[in-house]
Amino acid sequence: MRRGLHQDLNFVLPDKDNYLGYPQYFNKLYVGDGLMDDSEQFNILAHHCRFSPPDVRALMPNDTVKVAIVRHPVPLFESLFNFYDLGKYWGRQKALTLTEFLSRTEEEIKHLISSVDRMGYRIGQNQLAFDFGFDPYFMNNQSVFEQFVHMLGEEFQLVMLTEYLEVSMVLLADLMCWPLEEVAFIPLNVRTDSRLPQLSALHKRKIEKINRQDVSIYDFFQ
């Protein structure tokens, strides 16, 4: 966004907040009224949205470069669980800590998650797959999911990894033919190691099983 501001480019923006129709699939109708100048051309779509290739293509120029960023499913799930208090949402009668949640059997965990909708219809299991636009209805259809991952590989010119952010930013600069100064950054809202929960190897494996589609997406782009 910094480069867009310096270059006086047009951003795709919602009427309010920082979500473009989320959790519905992205649609150009969600773009705020009166945010287009006389050029009638958008340059950058960088706000939260649920990816829908046809609708993105309908709004953005034909030569648009698509870039995404993914986080490893284990720290992603831990962060979502604690930030959104999912232990209280899934536990219902009893607020569960992450350790308590993961100490349950896989069948119990599956039941807790499947017995309610996604939190706010947004947050839950396989968050990466959901945000990339995968329909949870096909969660158990491996063939459909593999086609979906292949589509992502075709759509995105670069998928960055949070765990390798500095390297990813260098790759972004190279892709866009920008000087490295354009991708310099200062980390914000990062928890210190002392505030991160210490998960056992067993609990990490459980998180990966709960979010197996996210693991497949992450491994595909790693």
Could you tell me the pLDDT band of residue 85, with boundaries at 50, 70 and 90?
A: very high
The reported pLDDT for the residue numbered 1 is: 76
Domain count, the chain: 1
Q: Is residue 134 part of a domain?
A: yes
pLDDT band at 196; cut points 50, 70, 90: confident
Residue 82 falls within a domain, yes or no?
yes
Q: What does the pLDDT average to over 103-132?
A: 95
End-to-end CA distance of the chain: 25
Share the mean pLDDT of the chain: 91
What is the extent of the structural domain holding 149?
70-155+190-221
- Residue 135 included in any domain: yes
Give the model's pLDDT for residue 35.
65
Whether 64 is in a domain gets the answer: no
The answer as to whether 45 is a domain residue is no
122 occurs within a structural domain: yes
19-62 pLDDT per residue, tens: 888 999 998 888 876 666 676 789 999 989 999 999 999 999 99
Mean pLDDT throughout 182-208? 86
212 within a domain of the structure (yes/no): yes
Task: State the pTM of this model.
Answer: 0.92
Per-residue tokens: 55? 């609708």
- Inside any domain, residue 1: no
